[in-house]
Amino acid sequence: MTTRPRDLVRAAAGVLADAGVASPEHDAAELLAHVAGTTRSRLPLLDEVTPEVAGRFEALVGRRAAREPLQHLTGTAAFRHVELAVGPGVFVPRPETELLAGWALDRAREVTGRAPVVVDLCTGSGAIARSLVDELPGAQVHAVELDGPAHAWASRNLEGTGVDLRRGDMAEAFGDLDGTVDVVVCNPPYIPLDAWESVAPEARDHDPALALWSGDDGLDALRVLARTAARLLVPGGWLGSEHADVQGESAVEVLSGTGRFVEVRDHADLAGRPRFVTARLAR
């Protein structure tokens, strides 16, 4: 017996909606496309789904309803123009971070007369670093990740790209590059320790703790980042860092308060929410 794809997606979307999944129709379609070996846009071309595929789909829908991340179930995450391998042990890259990566690319493109040097701190899956070399092949891109499992995912995603990937703490990373970097970019942990209940189960229960929590106000990592960037950057070099949507003013204050940076400003995401802060090392 076979089943029509649209009926499967409709039923699964209801299950996911009841479970509190933010995008039930999208996720249901993505899961069916995954088990059917096609893409979401081509699902309408399928007339029917075999019982075997339907059974695999039902199992994945159950896991998604339990708030296991969609990307863990499919094994991939799209980021700008690349597809990344992801799974347990690594922070799943978010669409919002694509704006920060785009900003870093624009600043790197402003370097003339030589290859731009860019450092991606707290690289996680390697999403930003991978986008940099994908869209700006001539750039010298360096990345670092402290967490072991996340570093393994980054190694997989950056293999063969030419990115200089290292394992270590961003506080001490790349001492050999001090004063030579044009752009430092980072998506650091930024969730306050007391914000546990406000974090979506997909992140709270599945993303690495090292990628989420950052002190009482969520800004401890940004303070470390500011010191590291001031060490790495050339005079006039750029720093960009993501932050929580409630940290638009406080993130700016952290960088301005160091006395090392100028042109400190915040940037909104596509929904108009404060999303990342940028600054330039004083000359």
Using the structure block, give the residue that is written with the tokens 């961003």: 170
User: Rounded to 5 degrees, what angle do the CA atoms 135, 140, 146 make?
Assistant: 100
**Euclidean distance between CA atoms 23 and 207, whole angstroms:** 19
Known binder of ligand: residue 69?
Answer: no
Known binder of ligand: residue 48?
Answer: no
Known binder of ligand: residue 95?
Answer: no
**Euclidean distance between CA atoms 118 and 107, whole angstroms:** 10
Known binder of ligand: residue 189?
Answer: yes
Residues contributing to the annotated binding site: 145, 187-190
Residues contributing to the annotated binding site for S-adenosyl-L-methionine: 145, 187
Residues contributing to the annotated binding site for substrate: 187-190
